[in-house]
Amino acid sequence: MLTDTGVQSALPGTAVLRLETTSNRTGTLDGAWWPRSRGIEGELPTLLTALTARLGPLARVGLDASAWDDAPRHVDVDGHSVRIDWSAVGDNTMIITRGRHDHFALLVIPPQAGTEAARAAMSMAVQPGQPMSAEHILTASGLSSRPSPTPPPPLSAPGMPA
Mean pLDDT for the stretch of residues 5-12: 46
- Determine whether 9 is exposed, middle or buried from the number of CB atoms within 10 Å of its CB (0-12, 13-18, 19+): exposed
Q: If pLDDT is split at 50, 70 and 90, which confidence band does 96 have?
A: very high
SS3 19: strand
* Any domain includes 151: no
Opening angle at CA 29, ends 149 and 35, nearest 5: 60
* Any domain includes 58: yes
Question: Total structural domains in the chain?
Answer: 1
- Which range has highest mean pLDDT (15-19, 24-28, 70-74)? 70-74
Q: If pLDDT is split at 50, 70 and 90, which confidence band does 29 have?
A: very high
What is the number of alpha carbons within 13 Å of residue 26 lying toward its C-beta? 6
* Any domain includes 145: no
Q: What is the pLDDT at residue 13?
A: 60
Q: If pLDDT is split at 50, 70 and 90, which confidence band does 99 have?
A: confident
| Torsion sign over Cα 149, 152, 153, 158 | negative
* Any domain includes 2: no
Q: CB–CB of 57/80 below 8 Å?
A: yes
Bridge partners (DSSP) of residue 138 are: none
Mean pLDDT for the stretch of residues 74-95: 88
Quote the domain boundaries for residue 134.
Answer: 17-140
82 against 154, higher pLDDT? 82
